[in-house]
Structure 1
């Protein structure tokens, strides 16, 4: 019996590599992944030991509306599921609208249209969005004694003209606009496939392969690695904070969308709990005695009060009930990241 084929866009990305690994480890699927960087694609093939169930195809320009059409004209009839993880993330971009926002929008529009036109057997389309598409900027007149609650029904209300001041605002707008477009196109085109979007908070956890931990980590995990390069008397701030989720749980949620029909048509907020930088520092200093006295310790335990005072609440109980599995806790996540970095970088 032929295995179903899953297309993973942006297959060399941090989350996508874990998705590909879980797909291949299950031994249930063939995987076709897209990439832009040939060197990264070669490394991915090598890391997966040239697995015969993994093929990689080049998509040169994510923002070109026909980019995926060219690929799907050839591979579309083979595809059963689409996991669209690719999205531009370049905080050094100078032209925020053309380098970050429009590629995200055009990439989403292009791959959905290509799926409709050239991939008649696709049953499910899963899009990696972000909590940035859920949470709006805090209003200036908010009641400081009242929490702002976000759910799977919430949308970021940031306007385009307010999104071009800095890269993070542009990124938030790009994720919102791309996801809204996906839902609009799905309603307008009436495709045979279902749509589910996955909206993770800060994604942490080890790199899929040790070789990826040899230098600078991905943007999110780098904030944990940064603590290894502090000095004992450096300050640790609780002002850098938010919610976290493990990358392996994000990958698993994508696979669950393939097999669980109850997830069709849903937005899923992936979040376990909140953190501050002090949270990470406490875990590292407690679990890695070889680092004690060499890195910053801050004010142990001060994160608890800071977390309680955070003004926002992510209520994702609906997502957790739909997925039906427990997310990894921060202690396990931080320990796994640090153990990998210490092993590879020999600090």
Structure 2
């Protein structure tokens, strides 16, 4: 009998690719969504798996509510927890970011400990946000590893900009997971994955181009004429969403990944590099994609070390050109289907 894993936040951009990875590897997936409407939006992409019984759905409207996961974690062998707020313009940081990130993570850990001794591994989608030290700026010559943690406190974040507050929310959630494991000694182990920006093809259901997820919208603006100049780069590394999905599968199935965190990243990048790739591969978009300083060298900023994921998980990574070309193709196809 195939193992069943619970996937939280199953209607999201990253989650769609995680579904592909686990279903394709022969797992059964119990997909947590917030409503019947979300279920329908996911379901029509995976009809054969629904029909075969490999994919089923459960509802949790608010993941931060105590006991929210008590029933849905029963009778699964593992959990992939992707559900977490990705809000870069929050107004009420505690309400919109800190509390949901921490409580959503603790809610599922507590539910599993209380209700399901069969679970052996919980993989959590964290973020490079929980490792970066924004106070150090661009850190020329520095290489981030899994040993790095975002040092900003909640008190400092409450008086900071929304982006900094979001970064801290990811650190809060990840620390909460490891602190829970250390104090509660549950039957399961935790593995966290730390991608920076996430790019690659859009596979989840999108109702309109104005409702793209944050990552897809970030690239779409570079190819739809809305940006007249190349934007300033905010984070200098990215992960391909398909490679990130594979990393979730490997983190779940690799024994050595227990209680480990992994930086999942394909390469360093700038928006200039993205624009160069788009203009090179899609001549029809040249008038809509800013030229900027074509071919400009990579600036003297920090780098990310992905060697741990390669050595311990066996990860391989796509090239930046493949990631960007495939993402633009998917956005063009989506645009055409919605007009």
Shared fold per TM-score greater than 0.5: yes
Distance 1:138 1:63, change over 3 A: same
Give the structure 2 partner of residue 20 of structure 1.
19
Aligned residue number for residue 223 of structure 2: 228
Mapped contact 2:109–2:177 kept (Cα < 8 A): yes
Of the structure 1 ranges 278-287 and 36-45, higher mean CA displacement relative to structure 2 is found in: 36-45
Give 1:295 deviation, angstroms: 3.2
Provide the C-alpha distance between the structure 2 equivalents of 1:225 and 1:293, rounded to a whole number of angstroms.
14
Distance 1:61 1:152, change over 3 A: same
1:29-86 deviation per Cα after TM superposition (whole angstroms, max 9, x unaligned): 11111111432221101111134211111112111122112433xxx1x110111111
Deviates more, 1:322-331 or 1:178-187: 322-331
Return the alpha-carbon distance in structure 2 between the equivalents of residues 177 and 30 of structure 1.
30
> CA 1:328–1:187 in 2, change beyond 3 Å: closer, same or farther?
same
In the alignment, structure 1 residue 183 sits paired with structure 2 residue 184? no
CA contact (8 A) 2:9 2:83 kept: yes
Secondary structure of the equivalent of 1:41? helix
CA distance in 2, matches of 1:293, 1:91: 29
3-state SS of paired residue (2:182): helix
On the 8 A contact 1:97/1:170 being kept in 2, the answer is no
- In the other structure, the counterpart of 1:192 is 187
CA deviation profile, 1:224-261 (whole Å, cap 9, x unmatched): 111122279x2214444410110011110111122211
Aligned to 2:136: 139
Which residues of structure 1 form unaligned runs of 5+?
Answer: none
What do you get for the CA RMSD once the two structures are aligned? 2.0
Cα shift at 1:152: 0.6
Q: Secondary structure at the match of 1:220?
A: helix
- 1:301-340 paired onto structure 2 within 5 Å: 301-302=295-296, 304=297, 307-310=298-301, 312-340=302-330
SS in structure 2 of the partner of residue 69 of structure 1? coil
Q: How many residues align?
A: 332
Partner SS, residue 222 of structure 2: helix
- Give the Cα separation in 2 of the matches to 1:324 and 1:214: 37
Matches within 5 A, 1:142-157: 147-157=141-151
Could you say what secondary structure the match of 2:330 adopts? helix
Q: TM-score, normalised by structure 1?
A: 0.90
Is it true that 1:111 corresponds to 2:105 in the alignment? Answer: no
Contact 2:141/2:300, CA 8 A, preserved across alignment:
no
Moved over 6 A (4+): none
Secondary structure in 2 matching 1:31:
strand
Q: Given the two structures, how large is their TM-score scaled by the length of structure 2?
A: 0.92
The aligned counterpart of 1:3 is 2
Post-superposition Cα deviations, 1:3-42, rounded to whole Å, max 9, x if no partner, equal 111011111111111111221122x211111111432221
How far 1:316 moved relative to its partner?
Answer: 2.7
- The structure-2 alpha-carbon separation of the partners of 1:173 and 1:294, relative to structure 1 and needing over 3 Å to count, comes to closer
Contact 1:6 1:29 in 2 (8 A): yes
- Map of 1:1-347 to 2, 5 A cutoff? 2-26=1-25, 28-49=26-47, 50-51=50-51, 52-72=53-73, 76=74, 78-139=75-136, 147-164=141-158, 165-209=160-204, 211-212=205-206, 214-215=208-209, 216-230=211-225, 234-302=228-296, 304=297, 307-310=298-301, 312-346=302-336
User: Would the aligned equivalents of 2:82 and 2:124 in 1 still touch at CA under 8 Å?
Assistant: yes
Distance 1:174 1:308 in 2: 28
The alpha-carbon deviation at position 91 of structure 1 amounts to 3.3
Shift of the alpha carbon at 1:297?
1.5
The separation in 2 between residues aligned to 1:266 and 1:213, in whole angstroms, is: 37
- CA shift digits 1:77-123 (9 cap, x unpaired): x1101111111223343211122110111111111011011011111
Aligned pair in 2 of structure 1 residues 294, 269: CA closer, same or farther (>3 Å)?
Answer: closer
Structure 2's unaligned 5+ residue stretches are none
Q: Distance in 2 between matches of 1:47 and 1:100?
A: 30
